[in-house]
Amino acid sequence: MGGIGSGKRFGRSKKALAEDCWDINTTYFGRRGLFKPGTHQSGELTRTRTALLGRGLSSTIEYTIDLRDPDRAYVELRYRLVLADESHIYRVGLVSTGCAFGGVRWWFLCPLIRDGVPCRRRVRTLYLRGRYYGCRACHRLTYASTQNNDRRVSAYRKAGGNSETYAETARRGSLTEVSFSLKLLEWEIRRLNRLEKRLDAR
């Protein structure tokens, strides 16, 4: 019998990038005071980011956070996948741990099922890949910084290289140079998207 996240998705051989997925983070809810014990609160989260060729993308997810029973705390996620013409509603468990200097830190419990076993890994961030939000391990995601091509991009940037200058040069160069120019552009877009996420979390 299947469950959230069960199926062929976990068999993909090539890892996707975490930076290319929509995500939700406990920091967003915490900074907005939504993790108050004994409360039951609902709201809507809209994110935007820039795709290739400067095209803007947006994603909206509705949520309800229920902390009335600390042993059964959860956040209910509600969203629609436009391309797949699907709507999804499900709960994600929440758990808190104490901090060294007082207070508590909240975590998601990954809701996905892998190899017939509920994951329930404690994480701060859940990523949307396919139909459901889940942890990075279940979705087999890696970070752009671990990719070989991105190491080359990082080295180029550290050496003072400029994306726009290289792109102009690549127009008259080889296919390899054009490909690297696109990598530089992707790197720049991901950098801007990370900056947007930090600003949204404030």
Q: What is the pLDDT along the chain (202 residues), one digit of tens a residue?
A: 345 765 444 444 457 888 889 999 999 999 999 999 999 999 999 988 766 555 677 889 999 999 999 999 999 999 999 888 899 999 999 999 998 888 899 999 999 998 899 999 999 999 999 999 999 999 999 887 666 556 666 666 666 665 555 555 555 555 556 666 767 777 777 777 777 666 665 5
Structure tokens that stand for 82 in this block: 């436009």
- Give the residue extent of every domain in the chain: 21-139, 144-193
What is the distance between the alpha carbons of residues 23 and 110, in angstroms, rounded to a whole number?
13
CB contact at 8 A, 66 and 40: yes
